[in-house]
């Protein structure tokens, strides 16, 4: 399976009502859309996130599926979910990869593949110029 046939988009936003800047707590919400542009069905099995704040503090998160699910994406289908991250700085980045499974409908053989999650910026409004 060609990982380029799976597209990932992210829409991040700052959550001021849950943030406490005086305590270096900045809460961000993001919505991820995963689209299967291939002619095969695949399933998201696990994830690996790399989260960095402006101080270059790195946090890596591994886990099964996303938000407690391991969604199956039929050809042409999209899956969307929302989650959050907490940083100690006003801005940072997130990127990573999804580990997916493709099952050949003819042979029944399965193949694991990785899909990169493009880097996106988490930023308090008016922090970037």
In this predicted model, what pLDDT tens digit does every residue of 32-75 receive, in sequence order?
Answer: 999 999 888 999 999 999 999 999 999 999 999 999 999 999 99
**Are 114 and 98 within 8 A, CB to CB?**
yes
> In the predicted model, is pLDDT for residue 93 greater than 80?
yes
Q: State the DSSP code for 98.
A: E
In this predicted structure, what is the pLDDT of residue 17?
97
For range 6-22, the mean pLDDT: 97
Looking up tokens 């100690």 gives 88
> In the predicted model, is pLDDT for residue 105 greater than 80?
no
In this predicted structure, what is the pLDDT of residue 103?
78
In this predicted structure, what is the pLDDT of residue 65?
94
Assign 106 a pLDDT band (cuts: 50, 70, 90): confident
> In the predicted model, is pLDDT for residue 127 greater than 80?
no
Rounded distance between C-alpha atoms, residue 16 and residue 125, angstroms = 10
**Are 103 and 41 within 8 A, CB to CB?**
yes
Cβ neighbourhood burial of 122 (10 Å; 0-12, 13-18, 19+): buried
In this predicted structure, what is the pLDDT of residue 107?
80
Rounded distance between C-alpha atoms, residue 37 and residue 45, angstroms = 18
In this predicted structure, what is the pLDDT of residue 3?
67
How high is the mean pLDDT of the chain? 93
For the question of whether the overall pTM of this predicted structure is more than 0.85, the answer is: yes
Percent of the chain predicted with pLDDT > 70 = 95
Return the closest-CA partner of residue 112 out of 121, 120, 122, 102: 102
Return the closest-CA partner of residue 92 out of 17, 25, 23: 25
Report domain 3-123's class: mainly beta
**Are 12 and 33 within 8 A, CB to CB?**
no
Sign for the pseudo-dihedral over CA of 77, 98, 7, 69: positive
Q: For the chain, give me the number of helices (H) and strands (E)? A: 0, 8
């Amino acid at each position: 399976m060609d990982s380029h046939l799976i597209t990932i988009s992210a829409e991040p936003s700052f959550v001021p009502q849950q943030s406490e800047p005086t305590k270096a707590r900045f809460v961000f919400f993001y919505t991820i859309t995963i689209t299967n542009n291939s002619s095969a069905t695949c399933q998201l099995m696990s994830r690996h996130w790399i989260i960095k704040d402006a101080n270059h503090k790195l946090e890596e998160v591994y886990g099964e599926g996303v938000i407690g699910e391991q969604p199956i994406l039929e050809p042409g289908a999209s899956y969307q979910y929302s989650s959050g991250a907490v940083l100690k700085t006003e801005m940072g980045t997130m990127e990573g990869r999804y580990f997916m499974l493709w099952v050949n409908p003819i042979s029944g053989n399965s193949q694991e593949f990785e899909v990169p999650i493009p880097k996106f910026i988490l930023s308090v409004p008016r922090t970037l110029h």
